[in-house]
Structure 1
C-alpha cells in the first residue's frame, strides 16, 4: 500500500502546490489522479518516487517511510512512464526495454526472456520489433514500449504521468484498453495522472479528484458519478470530452464482383466493458462513445453479453448491480472469414443494428454495423450512391 500522510508542498516563493494531502492507495489497483491544470496531480505522483520532496508529511510504501531509502534505489524499483516516452534513440527496442534489468544486474538470458514476454504482451512480435530503433515505430508503438519498459524489472508500483495525452484519439483509446488488459495479467499498483475524465472513468479502479492542491473526492468511477461531493465535481464530471472512434475504410480495396469478408468490413474498436463495471460508469461510457448499448467481455476478451441502455436505466437506482446483472445474452455472432452478407442477412431479418464478430476460439474482435456496410457499399458502387441509393 502507498500512503501519503499530511503532505504539504510549499515552494520558496510561498506558493503551496499541495495542502495537507492524505491518501491510501491500495495494492493491485489503477489509481487515477485527475484535475484541472495546476491542481497538483503530477506533483502528488512525483512524491512517490522522490522526484519531488514534501515540505511536510510522509510518504509510506508498505509502511516504510521512503525518505529513509536511497532515491536512486527507490526509483529502480518503481516503473515510470511519461508523456514524451523518453526512449533512447540510439538503442534498439530490446535494449530500451532492458535498461533497468541490466542496471539491477539481471542475468542476460533472464533479461531477454522478459523483453520478449513483454513485447508479446502488447502485441509487438519480438522477431519483428526487438532490433528496431524507436524512430522506426509509430507514436502508439513507442508508447507501448514506454509502458513495458516500466514493467521490465517487475516493479510493484508503476507511475504514469499523462502517458497517452499526445497520441491521436484512436491510438489513445487502444492503449487505454491494452493497459486494462495488461493490468489484469500483472496486477501492479498503478498511479496514473490525467486531465481527462473520460480516460479516468474508463481505466480507473479508484479516482482521486484534485483542485488547487487539495483532494476534493476519492472513490470508484461509479461512486463519484453517483455521489459527487460538490458543484466542482459535478461540473468536472459533466465536461464533454467525447472522442468518436470510427473505423477507417480508406485501406479497403474491393473489386465490385467480390463479396468482402466480415473482417474487411467490421469495426474493430466498439464500445466494450467488463461485467463488473458499475451502472453509472456504464451510462457515462455510452455517453462518451455515443452508443445505446455496451458489449460485455470477460478478462480474456470472450464475449458474454450486451447491455442495452434501457436495461441499465431500469436498474440504475440499485447501486449493488453491475453490468453482468443487467446484460442480455448474445444469440448470434459471425467469424471474421465469413462473407459479410451473412451478417447483413441476419441484421435485416432481426432488425438489429450490429452483429458481433468473434474468432474461432470465441475471442471478441469487433462488430458489423449498418454504418460500416453502407460506407463499404458506397466505395464499391459509387454510381448508386450518387443516385441516392445507400
Structure 2
C-alpha cells in the first residue's frame, strides 16, 4: 500500500503545485493519474521515489515513511519508465536491461537469465535483440526495452510517466495491450501518468483525476464514467457517442482456385473485453472502437461470448452488472486453418456481422467480418473494376 498523506508542494516563487493530497494506492493494481497539463500529476508520481520532496505531508510505502530511507536505495527498488525512454545509446539492449541488477550486485548468470526472460516477455527474441543497440530498434521496440528495464530488478512498484505518448497510435495501442498482459502475469503496483482519458479507461484499475494541484475524483473507470464528480470531470471525459453500425448484406460470389484460410483473412485485434468489465466502461470502449458489440474473453484468451450494445443498455442502470451478466454465446465459430468459405457460408446463411476464429482449445484468435471479404476481393481483383 502506498499512502500520500496531507501532501502539499510549494516552490520558492510561491507556486503551489500540490494542495493537500490524500491518496491510498492499493498493491497489485494499475493506478492512472490523469489531468490537463500542469495539474500536478507527474509531481505527485515523483513523490513516490523522492525525485520530489513534499513541502508538507508524508509518503508511506507499506507503512514506512520514505523520508527516512536512503533515496538511492529507495529508487533501486522502484522501477521507472519515462516518455523519452532514456536508454543508454552506447550500451547494448542486454546491458541496458541489466543496469540495476548489476548495481545490486546480482550474480552474472542470474542477470543474463533475467534479461532473456524479460525480452521474451515482450516478444523480443533474445538471440535477435540482446546485442543490438537502441538506435537499431524502432520507437515501440525501444519503449518495450524501457518497460522491461524497469522490471529487471523485480520491483514491487513501477512508475510510468507518460511512457507511450511519443509513439504513433498503432505502437501506442500495442504497448497498452502489452502492459495489460504483463500486469495480468506480474501483478505489480503501477503508477501511470497520462493526459489521455481513452488510455486511462483502457488500462486502469483505478483513476486519479487531477486539476490545479488537487485531486478531483478517484475511482474505477466504470465509477468515474457513471458518476463524474462535476462539470470539469464531464468535460474532461467527453460526451459518450454511441453509434450502431448496420451491416449491409454482401452479394459477392467468389471463384478462386486457392481458397485462403480464415487465419489469412481474419482481423486479429477486434474489440474485446474481460467479463469483469463494468457496463459504463464497456459502452465507452464501444464508442472508442466504433463497434456495436464486444467480444468477451477470459484472461487466458478463451472465447466466452459477446455483448451486444442493446444487452448492455438494457442492464446499464444496474451498477452491479458487468459484461458477464449481459453476454451471450456465439451460435457459430470457425476453427483455425478452416477455409475462408466456411465463415462466408455462416455469415451469408445466418446474416451474421462477423464470425470468431478459435483454436481447438477455444482460444480466441480473431474474427472474420464483411470487411474481411472486401479486403480479400481487393487483393484478388485489384484492377478488375467494380464488383456488383
TM-score normalised by the chain length of structure 1: 0.93
> Is 1:345 paired with 2:355?
no
| Residue 181 of structure 1: aligned partner | 181
> Is 1:355 paired with 2:361?
no
Tell me if the contact between 1:21 and 1:214 (Cα under 8 Å) persists in the aligned partners. Answer: yes
Tell me if the contact between 1:21 and 1:215 (Cα under 8 Å) persists in the aligned partners. Answer: yes
> Is 1:148 paired with 2:165?
no
Aligned Cα root-mean-square deviation (Å): 1.8
Cα distance in 1 for residues equivalent to 2:342 and 2:263: 12
Cα distance in 2 for residues equivalent to 1:96 and 1:239: 43
| Residue 248 of structure 1: aligned partner | none
Cα distance in 1 for residues equivalent to 2:89 and 2:362: 40
Cα distance in 2 for residues equivalent to 1:363 and 1:96: 35
CA deviation profile, 1:349-371 (whole Å, cap 9, x unmatched) = 11111111223443222211111
Q: Structure 1 stretch 94-103 or stretch 150-159: which is displaced more?
A: 94-103
Cα distance in 2 for residues equivalent to 1:356 and 1:162: 34
Cα distance in 2 for residues equivalent to 1:59 and 1:158: 16
CA deviation profile, 1:35-85 (whole Å, cap 9, x unmatched) = 011111011001111111111111110111111111111100000011111
CA deviation profile, 1:202-254 (whole Å, cap 9, x unmatched) = 11000000001100000000110111100000111116899xxxxxxxxxxxx
SS in structure 2 at match of 1:282: helix
Aligned pairs for 1:279-318 (under 5 A) are 279-318=279-318
| Residue 221 of structure 2: aligned partner | 221
SS in structure 2 at match of 1:317: coil
TM-score normalised by the chain length of structure 2: 0.93
| Residue 268 of structure 1: aligned partner | 268
Cα distance in 1 for residues equivalent to 2:96 and 2:373: 42
Query: Which consecutive unaligned segments of at least 5 residues does structure 1 have?
Result: 243-254
CA deviation profile, 1:66-108 (whole Å, cap 9, x unmatched) = 1111111110000001111111122222111111111111111
Cα distance in 2 for residues equivalent to 1:129 and 1:114: 14
Cα distance in 2 for residues equivalent to 1:388 and 1:376: 12
Q: Structure 1 stretch 218-227 or stretch 133-142: which is displaced more?
A: 133-142
Number of aligned positions between the proteins: 376
Tell me if the contact between 1:198 and 1:241 (Cα under 8 Å) persists in the aligned partners. Answer: no
SS in structure 2 at match of 1:90: coil
Report deviation, 1:110: 1.3
CA deviation profile, 1:325-378 (whole Å, cap 9, x unmatched) = 111112332234222222111111111111112234432222111113202212
Cα distance in 2 for residues equivalent to 1:322 and 1:372: 30
Tell me if the contact between 2:39 and 2:214 (Cα under 8 Å) persists in the aligned partners. Answer: yes
| Residue 80 of structure 1: aligned partner | 80
Q: 1:335 to 1:92 in 2, by over 3 A?
A: farther
Report deviation, 1:192: 0.3
Report deviation, 1:261: 2.2
Aligned pairs for 1:358-373 (under 5 A) are 358-373=358-373
SS in structure 2 at match of 1:382: coil
| Residue 110 of structure 1: aligned partner | 110
Segments of 4+ moved more than 6 angstroms: 239-242
> Is 1:7 paired with 2:7?
yes
SS in structure 1 at match of 2:334: coil
Tell me if the contact between 1:297 and 1:304 (Cα under 8 Å) persists in the aligned partners. Answer: yes
| Residue 247 of structure 2: aligned partner | none
Tell me if the contact between 1:302 and 1:363 (Cα under 8 Å) persists in the aligned partners. Answer: yes
Cα distance in 1 for residues equivalent to 2:175 and 2:365: 16
Cα distance in 2 for residues equivalent to 1:321 and 1:270: 23
| Residue 386 of structure 2: aligned partner | 387
Query: Which consecutive unaligned segments of at least 5 residues does structure 2 have?
Result: 243-254
Q: 1:240 to 1:88 in 2, by over 3 A?
A: farther
